[in-house]
Amino acid sequence: MGEPRSTRVVIRGRVQGVFFRVGCAERARAAGVTGWVRNRPDGSVEALLQGEATAVEAVLAWCRTGPPGARVDAIDVVPTPASQAASFTIEP
């Protein structure tokens, strides 16, 4: 098992209404990453990604582009303490 990593990510651009949360959750679950993804009132999307460093990096790489129809203008990645998330959820 690789190095564990926990990261909070805020993605800005045209990222709401384009299935960004669904796509992020699919990538995270497929990679074995736990945490959550949610829309923020300012139009950005925020996610908590936890798991093996290589798996978290793979999800982050997807977040830099997003699904078809998305336009990612900026992404902020901040290391954060791990939570006890057992799965990956989509929050409102």
Q: Parallel, antiparallel, or unpaired: how do β-strands 34-39 and 88-90 relate?
A: parallel
Task: Quote the pTM value.
Answer: 0.94
Is 29 a catalytic site residue?
Answer: no
pLDDT in tens, 1-48: 578 899 999 999 999 999 999 999 999 999 999 999 999 999 999 999
Region 78-92 average pLDDT: 92
DSSP structure class, residue 71: E
Burial of 57 (0-12, 13-18, 19+ CB in 10 A): middle
Is 39 a catalytic site residue?
Answer: yes
Question: What pLDDT, on a 0 to 100 scale, did the predictor assign at position 48?
Answer: 97
Domain assignments of the chain as residue spans, ordered by start: 1-16+53-84
Catalytic residue from among 8, 14, 29, 39: 39
Q: Parallel, antiparallel, or unpaired: how do β-strands 71-79 and 45-52 relate?
A: unpaired
Per-residue pLDDT band at 84 (split at 50, 70, 90): confident
Interatomic CA distance for residues 11 and 23, integer angstroms: 13
Catalytic residue from among 8, 21, 27, 29: 21
